């Protein structure tokens, strides 16, 4: 018993093991937090893209602009809706999935590796009915 | 030579191994709980936004069809347009949508989703009613939504006149435009009156129109060759969505 009490090596190892466990547990506790962050970030850009397109087309303006092939105004409208820190690229398809925009509708080169896409069905309100698909890509830093 | 104390030397190692086992157990528990949580169906409110996007597309389709039909197009256009939209929605890889169905309503007074009532009562209606359903199912949720889309443009007209002489009258026409959202503005309004000698409809030339800004327009014009006491008036209107509405009424002396 005396020998056991005088031997401190076992105690140190117990303390080391305890700290190792705490370290591992704390790193484990952080993993779900990072996972949640990345999921929220993933949804937010496509959700933003969806909100932008739904709002801009609420009165059928987007379809009218596409009918007129007015890509400059579409680019200006989308640019005015998003933060300057975000990158965007728009592609417009007709109902045969052919690309309609003959010029790039974009804010330039990408500024991050995190890009999300939302595709929106844009129905014309004119008497001559047309359905377009607008693909809006949003990118930013993760 | 006394033997060292092997038990004392190994005691710490056993504790380390024990603690590692405990940590492994905790890790596996955490992983299990996390994976179980992922599989629980959670209704994500953002799923509704896709519904809003499709609802908006159906609404625009109805407006387009009404503009076409009210300007002389066939009522089958509504069905054709909805078929085109249905094809576009199902082709598009919305992550959660699996079923989309939009059908013109046949609930009276609608026939094939269309109701045009351009009578002689001073009230005119151009309307479309569509029932649509979305069956949405994804990795985390599934839902079924039914909705009714109603696009209506209507006009209410009142008229009276002051006789100028035996065959001339100064007619005042007051008309108010509505949509399903309330008062609406007009893109074009034409006023007609019926002459009695000869008996034909004539468009009022240079009517003085006052726009009250709340969907109400007043027009004042002078008629020729109108000796009748009750003067037939016809108003042809096109609202801001290019939907046409006509109505006839009788102008009476004030």
Q: Report pLDDT for B129.
A: 95
B 193-252 near A (Cβ less than 8 A): 241-242
Positions in chain B whose pLDDT score sits under 70: 1-12, 36-49, 93-98, 138-141
pLDDT (mean) for A125-129 = 89
Q: For residues A58 and A31, which has the higher predicted lDDT (pLDDT)?
A: A58
* Nearest CB to B85; choose among A3, A97, A123: A123
Report residue A40's pLDDT band, with 50, 70 and 90 as the boundaries: very low
Q: Report pLDDT for B210.
A: 94
* Nearest CB to B23; choose among A21, A47, A123: A21
- In DSSP notation, B10-79 reads HHHHHHHHHHHHHHHHHHHHHHHHHHHHHHS----TTHHHHHHHHHHHHHHHHHHHHHHHHTT--THHHH
pLDDT for residue A8 is more than 80: no
Q: Report pLDDT for B27.
A: 83
Q: Report pLDDT for B211.
A: 93
pLDDT for residue A35 is more than 90: no
CA distance A111 to chain B (A): 26
* Residues of chain A contacting B20 with CB distance shorter than 8 Å: 17, 20
Please write down the long-range contacts of A45-49, taking CB distance under 8 Å and 24 or more positions apart: A45/A86, A45/A114, A45/A115, A45/A116, A45/A138, A45/A139, A45/A140, A46/A116, A46/A117, A46/A118, A46/A138, A47/B46, A47/B49, A48/A82, A48/A86, A48/A138, A49/A116, A49/A117, A49/A118, A49/A136, A49/A137, A49/A138
Q: Report pLDDT for B37.
A: 65
pLDDT (mean) for A74-91 = 91
* Residues of chain A contacting B81 with CB distance shorter than 8 Å: 129
> CA B113 to CA B151: how far, in whole Å?
10
* Residues of chain B contacting A36 with CB distance shorter than 8 Å: none
Please tell me if residue B74 touches chain A, with a CB cutoff of 8 Å. no
* Residues of chain B contacting A123 with CB distance shorter than 8 Å: 56-58, 60-61, 64, 85
Mean pLDDT across chain A: 81
- The stretches of chain A forming alpha helices (DSSP H) are 2-6, 9-56, 61-67, 71-81
* Residues of chain B contacting A95 with CB distance shorter than 8 Å: 84, 87-88
pLDDT (mean) for A114-130 = 88
Q: How many pairs of residues across A and B have Cβ atoms under 8 Å apart?
A: 117
Chain A positions contacting chain B at CB under 8 Å are 3-4, 7, 9-10, 12-14, 16-18, 20-21, 24-25, 28, 32, 35, 43, 47, 50-51, 53-54, 57-58, 60, 63, 95, 97, 119-129, 131, 133
């Amino acid at each position: 018993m005396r020998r056991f009490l005088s031997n401190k090596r076992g105690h140190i190892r117990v303390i080391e093991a305890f700290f190792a466990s705490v370290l591992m547990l704390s790193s484990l506790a952080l993993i779900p937090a990072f996972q949640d962050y990345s999921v929220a970030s993933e949804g937010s850009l496509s959700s933003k893209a969806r909100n932008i397109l739904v709002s801009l087309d609420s009165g059928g303006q987007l379809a009218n602009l596409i009918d007129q092939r007015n890509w400059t105004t579409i680019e200006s409208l989308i640019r005015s809706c998003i933060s300057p820190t975000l990158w965007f690229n728009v592609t417009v398809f007709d109902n045969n999935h052919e690309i309609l925009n003959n010029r790039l509708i974009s804010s330039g080169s990408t500024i991050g590796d995190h890009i999300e896409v939302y595709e929106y069905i844009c129905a014309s309100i004119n008497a001559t009915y047309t359905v377009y698909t607008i693909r809006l890509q949003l990118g930013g830093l993760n | 030579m006394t033997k060292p104390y092997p038990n004392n030397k190994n005691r710490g190692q056993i504790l380390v191994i024990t603690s590692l086992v405990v940590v492994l157990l905790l890790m596996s528990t955490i992983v299990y709980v996390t994976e179980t949580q992922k599989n629980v169906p959670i209704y994500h409110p953002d799923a509704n936004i896709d519904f809003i996007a499709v609802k908006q597309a159906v609404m625009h389709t109805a407006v387009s069809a009404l503009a076409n039909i009210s300007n002389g197009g066939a009522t089958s256009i509504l069905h054709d347009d909805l078929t085109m939209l249905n094809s576009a929605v199902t082709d598009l890889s919305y992550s959660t949508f699996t079923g989309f169905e939009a059908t013109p309503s046949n609930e009276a007074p609608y026939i094939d989703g269309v109701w045009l009532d351009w009578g002689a009562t001073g009230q005119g209606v151009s309307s479309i009613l569509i029932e649509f359903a979305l069956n949405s199912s994804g990795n985390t949720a599934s839902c079924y939504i039914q909705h009714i889309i109603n696009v209506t443009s209507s006009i209410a007209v009142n008229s009276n006149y002051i006789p100028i002489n035996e065959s001339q009258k100064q007619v005042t026409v007051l008309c108010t435009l509505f949509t399903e959202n309330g008062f609406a503005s007009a893109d074009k309004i034409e006023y007609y009156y019926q002459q009695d000698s000869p008996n034909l409809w004539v468009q009022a030339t240079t009517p003085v129109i006052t726009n009250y800004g709340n969907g109400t327009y007043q027009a004042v014009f002078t008629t020729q060759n109108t000796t009748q006491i009750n003067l037939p008036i016809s108003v042809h209107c096109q609202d801001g969505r290019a939907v046409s509405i006509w109505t006839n009424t009788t102008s009476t002396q004030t």
